[in-house]
Structure 1
Amino acid sequence: MIHDPTPDHHEFEIDLARDEVRRRAAVLEAVGDDWDPVAVLEGEQEAYHLLYSNLDAQQQETYDRLVAAGVLPGREGEGHAAD
């Protein structure tokens, strides 16, 4: 590769590794010391359960079709949303 800098072309470098370290530090600072990822996941699972509970027959059919098509994730151990 021939290095031929011209007045309208400039070389620059970006240290992505350093930027990634900075980004990760900012994320950890933002979530704080009391962040509990297990509790967050459990809360998300409970919200998903509540969202798809008490569906009427037509809603349940639509939900089942969306799960079968891969649009929505299925509930582990169950074929449909909780009643």
Structure 2
Amino acid sequence: MTSDESTGHLYAMEIDLTREEARRRAEVVAALGEHWDPHAVFEGEQEAYRLLYSGLDEEQMATYRKLVAAGVLPPGEGGDRAAD
């Protein structure tokens, strides 16, 4: 709401957030370009997580498991494959 200080009148101002969100998303997809492949991006992220948690020594693996158990890291990012 805004006010006109000289008269003390209030004016309602409405913004359609649904429309703005749809416009924002359309702009993001357009900016990504036609060659963007979300499946390939997802697979790349999974591979990055696998590599991040690979080669852990026993102490690091124990810390990893504690972080997963505490909910700090989501399960499955390294899992049993983390020691590869």
Q: TM-score, structure 2 length as denominator? A: 0.79
Is the 1:49–1:82 Cα contact (8 Å) retained in structure 2?
Answer: no
Higher helix share: 2
- Whole-Å separation in 2 of the counterparts to 1:16 and 1:64: 42
Please name the residue that 2:22 is paired with. Answer: 21
Please name the residue that 2:66 is paired with. Answer: 65
Where structure 2 has 5 or more consecutive residues not aligned to the other structure, the ranges are 1-6
Please name the residue that 2:8 is paired with. Answer: 7
Please name the residue that 2:3 is paired with. Answer: none
The answer to whether structure 1 residue 49 and structure 2 residue 66 are counterparts is no
Query: More deviation in 25-34 or 8-17?
Result: 8-17
**Which letter does structure 1 place at the counterpart of 2:22?**
V
Aligned length: 78
Residue identity (%): 61
Where structure 1 has 5 or more consecutive residues not aligned to the other structure, the ranges are 1-5
Greater than 3 Å deviation, 4+ residue runs: none
- What does the per-residue CA deviation read over 1:12-32, in whole Å, with 9 as the maximum and x for residues that have no partner? 110122212211111111111
Query: More deviation in 39-48 or 19-28?
Result: 19-28
- Whole-Å separation in 1 of the counterparts to 2:83 and 2:58: 12
- Whole-Å separation in 1 of the counterparts to 2:33 and 2:45: 19
Cα distance change of structure 1 residues 42 and 49 upon mapping to structure 2, 3 Å threshold: same
RMSD over equivalenced CA pairs, Å:
2.2
